[in-house]
Amino acid sequence: MNPIRKFDLTAIAGCALLFAVLQGLMFGGLIGPFWELNIILICINIILSVSLNLINGYTGQFSIGHAGFMAVGAYTSAIITVKLGLPYELALIVGTVAAGILGFLIGLPTLRLNGDYLAIATLGLGEIIRICILNIDYVGGASGLMGIPRLTTFAYVFWIMIFVIFFIKNFKNSAPGRCCLAIRENEIAADTMGINTTKYKVMAFTLGASFAGTAGALFSHYFFLAHPASFTFMRSFDILTMVVLGGLGSMTGAITGAVLLTFISAYLSDYPEWRMIIYSITLIVLMLRRPQGLFGSVELSREMFRLGGKKDGRAAEGK
Separation of CA 144 from chain center? 23
Q: Where are the alpha helices (DSSP H) in the chain?
A: 3-27, 33-53, 66-78, 88-110, 115-134, 154-172, 175-185, 187-192, 197-220, 233-246, 251-267, 275-289, 302-318
Cα–Cα nearest to 98, from 122, 124, 120, 70: 70
- 71-117: pLDDT as tens digits: 999 999 999 999 999 999 999 999 999 999 999 998 888 877 777 78
Identify the three-state secondary structure at position 226: strand
Contacts of 269 (CB under 8 A, 6+ apart): 275
Q: Report the C-alpha gap between 127 and 136 in whole angstroms.
A: 15
Instruction: State residue 10's pLDDT score.
Output: 87
Residues of the chain with pLDDT under 50: 305, 307-319
- Based on its alpha-carbon atoms, the radius of gyration of the chain, rounded to whole angstroms, reads 20
Q: Where are the alpha helices (DSSP H) in 28-139?
A: 33-53, 66-78, 88-110, 115-134
Beta bridge partners of 145: 226
Rounded-to-10 torsion of CA 29, 32, 38, 44: 30
Instruction: State residue 218's pLDDT score.
Output: 95
Cα–Cα nearest to 242, from 59, 43, 11: 43
Q: Report the C-alpha gap between 236 and 69 in whole angstroms.
A: 10
Instruction: State residue 11's pLDDT score.
Output: 87
Cα–Cα nearest to 207, from 118, 91, 111, 76: 111
Cα–Cα nearest to 227, from 135, 167, 143: 143
Q: Report the C-alpha gap between 123 and 67 in whole angstroms.
A: 9
Instruction: State residue 36's pLDDT score.
Output: 92
Identify the three-state secondary structure at position 198: helix
CATH fold for the domain made of 41-233: ABC transporter involved in vitamin B12 uptake, BtuC (1.10.3470)
First CA to last CA across the chain, in angstroms?
A: 37
